[in-house]
Amino acid sequence: MSYIFFIDRCLGKKVAESLRNARALVEIHDDSFSQDLPDEDWLRIVGDRDWIVLTKDKNIARRSLELLAVAQGNVRLFAFVDGDVSGAKVAQAFVNALENMQRFIRGNPAPFIAKVHQSGLVMPCKNQKELLKLLSKTRS
C-alpha cells in the first residue's frame, strides 16, 4: 500500500523534496491550504483524505483543539521531536524513518500521534485509545 505524506507548512520544501527522492508520495500544505488556515481545520481535512501528517510542531500533541481535530479526523501524525536542527537534518530524519513510519501505520489504528527522531526511530506519543477517550469526553 502506498501512503501520501502531507508536509506541514513548518517543515519547508526540503522535506518534501527528500521524501520524493526516496520515492514517497507527498502533498505540501501550501499546495492545498492557505498559510493562515488554523491547524485544527486542515488536520480534519487531511485526515478525511487519508493522508499521513508530517510535522515538527510538537505543540499539536499538547493543544486541545489540535488533539480534538486529530481524533475527529482520524489523523495519523508523525512529529519530528529532536529539537531545532537544520531543514536538511529534519528531511534526512523523515527519510530515515520512512520504512519505520510505514510499519507503524500498518501496526497502529488511526488516530495516532507518533514521534520521529533524527536517527529514524519512531515512537508512539498518543494512541487511538487515548485520542478517542479525549473525543468521547468532549461529547459528554
- For residue range 12-31, what is the model confidence (pLDDT) as tens digits? 889 999 999 999 999 999 99
Chain centroid offset of residue 73 CA: 12
Q: What pLDDT score was predicted for residue 21?
A: 97
What pTM was computed for the model? Answer: 0.94
Q: What pLDDT score was predicted for residue 140?
A: 59
| Cβ neighbours, 10 Å, residue 86 | 9
Asked if the model's pLDDT at residue 134 lies above 80, the reply is yes
